[in-house]
């Protein structure tokens, strides 16, 4: 078998293994813990058909979209600024890295106090999760542009617009894409955590509601939907990411 062939084969084996582990967990822990794969998949499809679920999904997706947008724009702007001014960048980088490693969930009450209960708190919480990697990657990309590229742009007498279009953007794009991919996942995490705590709408609320009312079927199905969505979106971004890195 060729390499692509073994890849598909191994991938299938991994998926089957995970399904087997899931089924085994069900056999061990029983219906109080989770529902088996097939039942869950059927219920998840059912759920996708119900208008009530779409209301929650829409709430989550719109908060998520806003937080990705804000984290992306602010993150790239801040990263470009910090990257352009060496000193500011050197001062800020470890502080941002520290921000990345603290348990941000402890800040959620402050966000709730500042933004009130509602979508804006979720969005803000998503933004503080997702923005840091975008800033750090953008900063790194700008800082590490090879000086020879800028010198060639000068030698060729490119205008500032042309320099940006043909030199700067292609040079930093791959790194920024990596940052956006990680930021994307973290925004989702932030929004979901926000919904799990003090919220009445959204996917996170459905999960926590399922936990509190011992609705195992609902929790397992929603978890499955979240995992499938997260993995699918991440894989798609990963493909883009890797292609850009190869070309660049």
What is each CA distance from 156 to 24, 35, 146, 172, in whole angstroms? Answer: 65, 65, 16, 20
Q: Cβ neighbours of residue 42 under 8 Å, at least 6 residues apart?
A: none
Nearer to other proteins, 102 or 148 (CB): 102
If binding is defined by CB under 8 A, does position 98 make contact with other proteins? yes
If binding is defined by CB under 8 A, does position 14 make contact with other proteins? yes
**Considering only CA atoms, which of 76, 95, 63, 98 is closest in space to residue 183?**
76
Residues 31-70: x where in contact with other proteins by CB under 8 A, - otherwise, as a string? -xxx------------------------------------
Longest CA–CA span in the chain (Å) reads: 71
Each residue of 205-221: b (16+ CB within 10 Å) or e? bbbbbbeeeeebbbbbb
Nearer to other proteins, 79 or 194 (CB): 194
Among positions 197-216, residues that touch other proteins (CB under 8 A) are 197, 207-208, 210-211, 216
User: Can you read off the two tokens belonging to residue 73?
Assistant: 């724009």
If binding is defined by CB under 8 A, does position 28 make contact with other proteins? yes
State which of residues 23, 45, 84, 109 lies at the interface with other proteins (CB under 8 A): 109
Nearer to other proteins, 176 or 188 (CB): 188
State which of residues 114, 117, 156, 240 lies at the interface with other proteins (CB under 8 A): 114
Contact 119, 155 (CB under 8 A): no
Nearer to other proteins, 18 or 156 (CB): 18
**Considering only CA atoms, which of 97, 118, 129, 140 is closest in space to residue 201?**
118
- From the list 45-53, 59-67, 72-80, 109-117, the region that binds other proteins by CB under 8 A is 109-117
Angle subtended at Cα 80 by Cα 74 and Cα 81, rounded to the nearest 5 degrees: 90
State which of residues 47, 123, 180, 188 lies at the interface with other proteins (CB under 8 A): 188
For helices 169-196 and 216-247, angle between their N-to-C axes, nearest 10 degrees: 170
State which of residues 44, 134, 153, 196 lies at the interface with other proteins (CB under 8 A): 196
Q: What whole-number distance in Å separates Cα of residue 134 and Cα of residue 55?
A: 30
Q: How many residues bind other proteins (CB under 8 A)?
A: 57
Question: At closest approach, how far in Å is the CB of 128 from other proteins?
Answer: 13
The residue ranges that bind other proteins (CB under 8 A) are 6-7, 10-11, 13-14, 25, 28-30, 32-34, 87, 90-91, 94-95, 98, 100-110, 112-114, 182, 184-185, 188-189, 192-193, 196-197, 207-208, 210-211, 216, 219, 223, 226-227, 230-231, 233-235, 238
């Amino acid at each position: 078998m060729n390499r692509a062939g073994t890849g598909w084969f191994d991938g299938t084996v991994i998926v089957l293994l995970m399904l087997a582990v899931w089924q085994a967990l069900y056999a061990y822990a029983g219906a109080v813990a989770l529902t088996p794969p097939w039942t869950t998949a059927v219920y998840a499809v059912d759920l996708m058909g119900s208008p009530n679920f779409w209301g929650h999904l829409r709430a989550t997706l719109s908060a998520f979209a806003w937080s990705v947008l804000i984290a992306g724009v602010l993150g790239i702007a801040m990263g470009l600024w910090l990257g352009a001014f060496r000193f500011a960048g050197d001062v800020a980088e470890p502080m941002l890295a520290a921000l990345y490693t603290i348990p941000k969930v402890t800040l959620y009450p402050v966000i709730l106090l500042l933004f009130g209960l509602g979508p804006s708190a979720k969005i803000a919480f998503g933004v503080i999760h997702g923005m840091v990697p975008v800033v750090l990657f953008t900063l790194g990309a700008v800082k590490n542009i090879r000086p020879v590229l800028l010198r060639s742009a000068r030698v060729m007498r490119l205008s500032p617009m042309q320099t940006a279009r043909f030199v700067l953007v292609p040079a930093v794009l791959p790194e920024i894409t990596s940052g956006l991919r990680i930021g994307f996942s973290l925004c989702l995490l932030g929004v979901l955590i926000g919904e799990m705590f003090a919220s009445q709408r959204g996917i996170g609320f459905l999960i926590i509601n399922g936990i509190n009312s011992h609705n195992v079927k609902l929790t397992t199905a929603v978890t499955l939907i979240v995992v499938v969505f997260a993995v699918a979106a991440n894989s798609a971004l990963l493909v883009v990411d890797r292609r850009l890195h190869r070309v660049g």
